[in-house]
């Protein structure tokens, strides 16, 4: 997967590639789909959500330009897979998920793998995570019409936010927002992508 689907398709960040080699994706997909864990596609997980496509996760993390010293906020823990990858390329990861059930199972998987620098909580990521802000980088694994302002506000100067942004269709543009020293922002379109929707509020289960 790392060689054929990531490196050969242009992912060059060595730390990102090493992280993908270190984390067994089959532990993050439903048992019945384990044989498909290394296909380059999104797969269904509980609560009607998906574990993202490996290439897209790698592309997003490469776009964050991490050095390994950052505090990172991830919105949309899902299975916990991308949080596990992030644990290898950042210093501390705060990952929020609106479904309590997904947050709990992700936490169990990360614990089982001995990952101690990821903190999962059930929370509405459209609000960011004020108690731990600011962040050097923020990654959002769900798409919305607009970037929620609290996320921009919780970035340090020079911080990067990567998130799918789009209208009503099923596709979004992967946007990188960089906060300047003066507090302004610059935006870059990194290409088309397809994510589950970012939904405000926490889920009942
Ligand atoms: N990164 C995940 C993929 C997550 S799919 C993985 O590797 O498995 C996107 C996730 O975002 C879903 O689990 C969905 O429940 C969650 N989500 C959607 N809106 C949210 C919100 N407002 N706050 C927190 N999580 C949210």
Give the DSSP H/E element, type plus range, for residue 49: none
Which of 52, 82, 87, 105 is catalytic? The answer is 52
Report which ligand 1 atom has the smallest distance to the Cα of 81. 7
Using CA positions, which residue lies closest to atom 10 of ligand 1? 76
| Dist. CA 69 → ligand 1 center (Å) | 24
pLDDT at residue 144, rounded to an integer: 96
Residue with tokens 């090493």: 18
Residue 182's pLDDT is what? 87
Span from the CA of 75 to the centroid of ligand 1 (angstroms) = 6
| pLDDT attached to residue 121 | 98
Q: Tell me whether residue 52 is one of the annotated catalytic residues.
A: yes
Cis peptide upstream of residue 134 (ω within 30 degrees of 0) = yes
pLDDT for residue 169: 80
The alpha carbon of 182 and the centre of ligand 1 are apart by a number of angstroms equal to 31
The atom of ligand 1 lying closest to the CA of 45 is 8
Query: Relative to the CA of 203, which ligand 1 atom is closest?
Result: 15
Q: Which residues of the chain have pLDDT under 70?
A: none
pLDDT by residue (tens digit) across 32-68?
999 999 999 999 999 999 999 999 999 999 999 999 9
CA gap 115, 117 in Å, rounded: 6
Which pLDDT score is estimated for 105? Answer: 98
Q: Measured between alpha carbons, how far is 90 from 73 in angstroms, rounded to an integer? A: 10
**pLDDT for the residue numbered 160:** 98
User: Would the pTM count as exceeding 0.95?
Assistant: yes
Residue 44 to residues 32, 33, 48, 134, 147, Cα–Cα distance (Å): 11, 9, 7, 32, 25
Strand bridging mode 185-193 / 172-179: antiparallel
Ligand 1 residue neighbourhood (C-beta within 6 Å): 49-52, 75-76, 78-79, 81-82, 96-99, 102, 124-126, 141-142, 196, 198-200
177-180: long-range pairs with CB below 8 Å, 24+: 177/147, 177/152, 179/152, 179/155
CB burial of 97-122 (b: ≥16 within 10 Å; e: otherwise) equals: bbbeebbebbbebbeebebeebebbb
Q: Which atom of ligand 1 is nearest to the CA of 82?
A: 7
């Amino acid at each position: 997967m790392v060689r054929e689907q990531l490196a050969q398709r242009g992912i060059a960040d060595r730390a990102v590639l090493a992280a993908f080699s270190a984390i067994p994706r089959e532990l993050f997909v439903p048992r019945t789909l384990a044989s498909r864990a290394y296909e380059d596609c999104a797969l269904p997980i509980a609560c009607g959500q998906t574990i993202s496509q490996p290439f897209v996760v790698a592309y997003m993390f490469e776009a964050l330009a991490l050095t390994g010293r950052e505090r990172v906020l991830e919105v949309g823990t899902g299975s916990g897979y991308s949080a596990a990858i992030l644990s290898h390329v950042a210093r501390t990861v705060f990952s929020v998920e609106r479904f309590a059930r997904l947050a709990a199972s992700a936490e169990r998987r990360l614990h089982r793998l001995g990952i101690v620098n990821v903190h999962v909580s059930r929370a509405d990521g459209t609000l960011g995570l004020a108690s731990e802000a600011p962040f050097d980088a923020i990654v959002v694994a769900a798409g919305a019409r607009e970037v929620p302002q609290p996320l921009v506000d919780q970035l340090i100067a020079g911080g990067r936010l990567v998130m799918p942004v789009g209208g009503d269709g099923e596709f979004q543009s992967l946007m990188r927002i960089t906060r300047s020293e003066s507090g302004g922002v610059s935006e870059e379109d990194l290409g088309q992508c397809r994510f589950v929707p970012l939904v405000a509020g926490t889920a009942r289960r």
